[in-house]
Amino acid sequence: MATGDASYIKKINRRLIISKIIEHRLISRADLAKLTNLTRSTISVQASHLLEEELIIESDQEHTSVGRKPIMLSLNHNAGFALGIDLDYRHITFTLSDLLGNPIYDDTIKIPNSDYGMIVKLLINQIKKYEDKCSESRFGIIGIVIGIHGIVTNDEIINFVPQHKWHNKNLKDDLEKEVGIKIQIENNANLCSFAEKVFKHHKSMNLLSVSMYSGIGLGVMINGESLKGYHGYAGEMGHMIIVPNGKSCNCGNSGCWELYSSEDSFLKQLATIHHQKNMTYEDVRNLIIKQDPSTLEQMKQFIKYLAIGLNNIINLLNPETLVLNSELLKLYPDAENKIKSHLTSSVSHFSELVISELGKKACVMGACALAIKNFLEIPDLSLHIKKTDS
């Protein structure tokens, strides 16, 4: 046996045990042994180490049968916290979650402009505030993941953000110089697709998530893994040309998909039609309820161009699950079926098309989940959104 094999096997067993504890939430040592096919002695030793680390906790299971109550194991969800950050065009969203992905704190901060230095300072100040909040926990902040609405390379360099007009920014290094926590930079659409897989569509191995807010981003999960491409540029479908010689885009081309089917472009165009400075979702809701003809026509055009892009994506990637992340589509009655009515090609195949329940939280939720997965070093993560009393 080569040196290090025993240590490697122990790590594999540890990851498997942690995964099963998270999956079942509460589980006995005996059930862990059955599910993992590991010996009871292996389970006992690993559980002892995890208890010493304060990563798991023990509790008695309530039951009415005669006999000794089984001792149950569960993740110590307050042992550490993950910080997810969604760095969008006009604002930055921060979510601090426990180790089960449950949000503990949420903040959204408006940014007045695209000045890179100013935004770096803002991020540093906020991160340090969250560090203080978590200072009493066993592990503190276990990781920070930042979602970028633009192109991120495989080595985590921000290659280009069209809305901010940033080129080749090393945000990871700029932040890690000032804070003592590992930072990970990721494309926001990739984080959205990861969130959908982790929190909602646990069994879907081939999932696409289309984010439609300030632009359009595509997150692709193939065989349960993110598809990033050679340099990390895969998924920039918002800049797929669907109207030759169409509207000019910040990317340098004309007729890009996001100019016709992003929420930002829709709201700007509708504001122009109604001679208003801007439009809100509430404005759109009221106009749809009133059956305003110009708004309904604009929605039809929005669906039409959305379907053109979706047809291309479906033909290219043949997804099992197609998730549309859009607040606007939630306002439009029967939106899913209206979109499906445009997806009629005999060579276009998918199993399920849904509008995301996670909405604008998807990016930060995916960021927190990725930080948790990396910290626990487990190959697969399935979490459940904690239900709150209404």
Report the CATH number that the domain containing residue 280 is assigned in CATH. Answer: 3.30.420.40
**Residue 371 is assigned to a structural domain of this protein:** yes
Instruction: Inform me whether the pLDDT recorded for 61 exceeds 70.
Output: no
Mean pLDDT of the region 363-374: 97
Residue 386 in this model has a pLDDT that exceeds 80: no
Instruction: Please compute the mean of the pLDDT values over residues 251-271 and round it to a whole number.
Output: 93
Classify residue 387: in a domain, yes or no: no
| DSSP category for residue 324 | E
Mean pLDDT of the chain: 92
Q: Which range marks the domain in which residue 279 is found? A: 203-359
Q: Is the same domain home to 66 and 86?
A: no
Give residue 64's pLDDT band: very low, low, confident or very high (50, 70, 90): low
290 confidence band (pLDDT: 50, 70, 90): very high
What pLDDT, on a 0 to 100 scale, did the predictor assign at position 320?
95
Average pLDDT over residues 63-86: 85
Q: Are 51 and 58 in contact (CB under 8 A)?
A: yes
Grouping H, G, I as helix, E, B as strand and the rest as coil, residue 59 is strand
pLDDT of residue 389: 45
- Same structural domain, 138 and 86: yes
Does a structural domain hold residue 382? Answer: no
Residue 308 reports pLDDT greater than 90 = yes
Predicted local distance difference test score (pLDDT) of residue 345 = 81
Domain boundary among 75, 100, 127: 75
Contact 163, 114 (CB under 8 A): yes
**pLDDT reading at 31 higher than 70:** yes
Helices (H), ranges, the chain: 5-24, 29-36, 40-52, 116-133, 171-176, 188-195, 258-261, 263-273, 281-289, 293-317, 327-331, 335-340, 362-376
Position 144 scores a pLDDT of: 98
**Could you identify the residue written with the tokens 């069209």?**
162
212 with 311, same domain: the answer is yes
214 & 327 share domain: yes
Task: Give 206's Cβ-side CA count (13 Å radius).
Answer: 11
Beta-bridged to residue 221, according to DSSP, are: 207, 226
Residues 62 and 124 in one domain: no
| pLDDT band at residue 68 using 50, 70 and 90 as cut-offs | low
Q: Average pLDDT in the 144-165 region?
A: 93
- pLDDT score, position 252: 87
Does residue 308 share a domain with residue 248? yes
Residues 223 and 294 in one domain: yes
At 228, list the tokens: 């990033």
70 pLDDT above the threshold of 90? no
Mean pLDDT of 58-66: 68
As given in the structure block, the two tokens for residue 254 are 């004309």
Number of domains forming the structure of the chain:
3
Residue 146's pLDDT is 98
* Predicted confidence (pLDDT) per residue in 214-231, tens digit: 889 899 999 988 888 888
Per-residue DSSP letters for 227-291?
---SSS-TT-GGG-B-STT-SB-TTS-BSBTHHHHSHHHHHHHHHHHTT-S---HHHHHHHHHTT
Residue 367 and residue 354 share a domain: no
Domain boundary among 75, 90, 123: 75
Nearest to residue 303, comparing CAs of 329, 280, 269? 329
Give residue 106's pLDDT. 94
pLDDT bin (cut points 50, 70, 90) of residue 175 is very high
Same domain, 41 and 163: no
Structure tokens belonging to residue 336: 């899913």
3 within domain boundaries: no
pLDDT of 4 over the 60 cut? no
**Average pLDDT rounded to a whole number, residues 123-145:** 96
User: Is it the case that residue 2 has pLDDT exceeding 50?
Assistant: no
What's the full length of the chain, in residues?
390
* Residue 276 and residue 163 in one domain: no
Q: Is residue 386 part of a domain?
A: no
The predicted model gives 26-38 an average pLDDT of 94
Q: Which two tokens stand for residue 117?
A: 């230095």
pTM for the whole thing? 0.90
User: 351 and 369: one domain?
Assistant: no
Does 59 fall in a domain? yes
Residue 54's SS3 state is: coil
**pLDDT digit string (tens) for 10-25?**
999 999 999 999 999 9
Is residue 293 situated within a structural domain?
A: yes
Residue 390: the pLDDT is 38
> Angle at CA 301, nearest 5°, toward 200 and 88?
50
Average of pLDDT values for 102-122? Answer: 95
Q: Are residues 349 and 366 in the same domain?
A: no
3-state secondary structure at position 2: coil
Amino acid at the residue 97? S
Order of strands across the sheet with 56-60? 27-28, 71-75, 56-60
Residue 331 domain-assigned (yes or no): yes
Closest C-alpha to 189, from 306, 374, 363: 363
pLDDT of residue 388: 52
Residue 220 to residue 231: CA distance in whole angstroms: 15
- Which of 55, 75, 95 corresponds to the end of one domain? 75
